Amino acid sequence: MTEPASVRGLAGRYELEREIGRGGMGRVFAARDLKLDRSVAIKVLTPESHGDEDLRRFEQEARAAGSLAHPNVVMVHDIGASDDGPFIVSELLQGGTLR
């Protein structure tokens, strides 16, 4: 697995376990929140440079999801930025893909 180095050591808080998906804007990793001792998912933008519009959409996605509390919507725990770019930390859902 080749995960972004600064996410791998993000403030010593998250330990990446494996990549679980990728899409047009980023990659998603299963990880462990070492402070709260829980499994999480971390979405980071892909390493390619992104324009202002991509960064705005990524932040908008995090804020929209973070403002919702519903059993059918993934819970956002944290957002931030590292040397590799912005990231979203959310609950890690178990189960099969929707494909």
Cβ atoms of 14 and 7 closer than 8 Å: yes
Mean pLDDT of 80-91: 81
Q: What is the pLDDT of residue 30?
A: 94
Per-residue pLDDT tens over the stretch 13-24? 888 889 998 888
Q: What is the pLDDT of residue 39?
A: 96
Q: Using CA atoms, how far apart are residues 83 and 10, in angstroms rounded to an integer? A: 10
From the options 2.10.10.90, 3.20.20.10, 3.30.200.20, 3.40.50.800, give the CATH code of 5-91.
Answer: 3.30.200.20
pLDDT confidence band for 4 (50 / 70 / 90): low
Per-residue pLDDT tens over the stretch 34-81? 999 999 999 888 766 577 887 788 888 888 888 888 888 889 998 877
